[in-house]
Amino acid sequence: MTAKNAEDVRIQVASEFDIIRKYFTRPAPTALLGVGDDCALLQPQLGMTLAVSTDMLLAGRHFFPDAEPGKLGHKALAVNLSDLAAMGADPRWATLAIALPEADEKWIAAFAQGFFRLAGRWQMELVGGDTTRGPLAISVTVIGEVPPGLALRRDGALAGDDIWVSGATGEAALALAYLQRRVRLESPVREACLERLHAPEPRVELGGRLRGLARSAIDISDGLLADLGHVLEASGVGAELAWESLPRATAIAECADPALAADCLLAGGDDYELVFTAPPSKRAEIEAVGGDLGLSLTRIGAAVPGKPVATPTRPISSPWGSARGSRRRPRARWARCSRFRSSSCSTRGSRRSRSSGSSWFFSGSASGPASAPVATSASPTTAQ
């Protein structure tokens, strides 16, 4: 090693420790030991079960390389908090590993601000991580707690359960289509869609409130149909979905391209809403939770006995129908494939490495492409 190379190494090492100390070292009062040692030492509350999840975001694949750093810091944590929400877990701690192409202090400061602002809302503490020089990549691990036996899992759905979804899906994917110049969006729906893409809201409080009410849940990261398919597969049930009842944000309901809107609604991804199942006896309590949180909770169908197959419960309008607007009943099925279908407005592709090595997509035949999802342009609805 030359003297110059040795000097470069010393500068890089010093910069790494300086970055950690200046921007990512915060008090962690609930940890036995936080940032600054070889490991963090954590003590869960007595009797609680730990929930742990990790996600990685890569520049150019999961976000634009020139993404605003404050929003990127928010999103890097939000997508992980969404996993805790899906399990009904309360956030406790996080670790952060980040590769940076350069030590741009202004960028790092804004990223850290966005990350810690969201963490502070849930009293979540950063207790460790790593930094290095390289292409921009971010990996966050979150640790939460859930009371024993109350975690919301994918395999708990039973035939007869209602299927619910929080909020509305499709806006993030429509924002991506806008940025790719595949659709025009006017203010204020443009700003609403971009906010859903760049700064998603994890449904942490909802997940906690669903403990004891919902039988199964999953967060919507890869699209409503794909993620609901994981619940159906894990639980060994099918589903009947009332397509007209799917909640639609204004941007989706009024989109000039109904085929694109349908694809974003059903398969777009990056929504980070929760889709969950619950017995019909819990309807009033779930509606009350939605009212308390000021969050739309919509009943979109029911789990039924049989294979993981989703079928419409009544005729639906197809965006690819005849010019006379004929109503058809498409033959719908959940089809297994060896890899996630790359939707034309999929924001992230497959966000996680699925243990099954496969995913699900909706396939219908209604005077249109065989793999195209079908939906109506009905207005958002609330639980009935």
Q: What mean pLDDT is predicted for residues 208-227?
A: 96
pLDDT in tens, 218-233: 999 999 999 999 999 9
- Whether residue 259 is predicted with pLDDT greater than 70 in this model: the reply is yes
Q: Return the pLDDT at 337.
A: 24
Report the range of poorest mean pLDDT among 54-58, 129-133, 251-255. 129-133
Report the range of poorest mean pLDDT among 84-88, 109-113, 115-119, 239-243. 239-243
Q: Return the pLDDT at 108.
A: 94
- Whether residue 267 is predicted with pLDDT greater than 50 in this model: the reply is yes
Question: pTM above the 0.75 mark?
Answer: yes
> Between residues 26 and 312, which one has the greater pLDDT?
26
Question: Which structural domains are found in the chain, ordered by start?
Answer: 10-146 (3.30.1330.10), 154-363 (3.90.650.10)
pLDDT bin (cut points 50, 70, 90) of residue 15 is low
> Between residues 109 and 14, which one has the greater pLDDT?
109
Q: What mean pLDDT is predicted for residues 259-284?
A: 96
pLDDT bin (cut points 50, 70, 90) of residue 312 is low
User: Residue by residue, what is the 3-state secondary structure of the chain?
Assistant: CCHHHHHHHHHHHHHHHHHHHHHHCCCCCCCCECECECCCECCCCCCCEEEEEEEEEEECCCECCCCCHHHHHHHHHHHHHHHHHHHCCEEEEEEEEEEECCCCHHHHHHHHHHHHHHHHHCCCEEEEEEEEECCCEEEEEEEEEECCCCCCEHHHCCCCCEEEEECCCCHHHHHHHHHCCCCCCCCCHHHHHHHHHHCCCCCHHHHHHCCCCCCEEEECCCCHHHHHHHHHHHHCCEEEECHHHCCCCHHHHCCCCHHHHHHHHHHCCCCCCEEEEECHHHHHHHHHHHHHHCCCEEEEEEEECCCCCEEECCCECCCCCCCCCCCECCCCEEEEECCCCCCCCCCCCCCCCCCCCCEEEEECCCCCCCCCCCCCCCCCCCCC
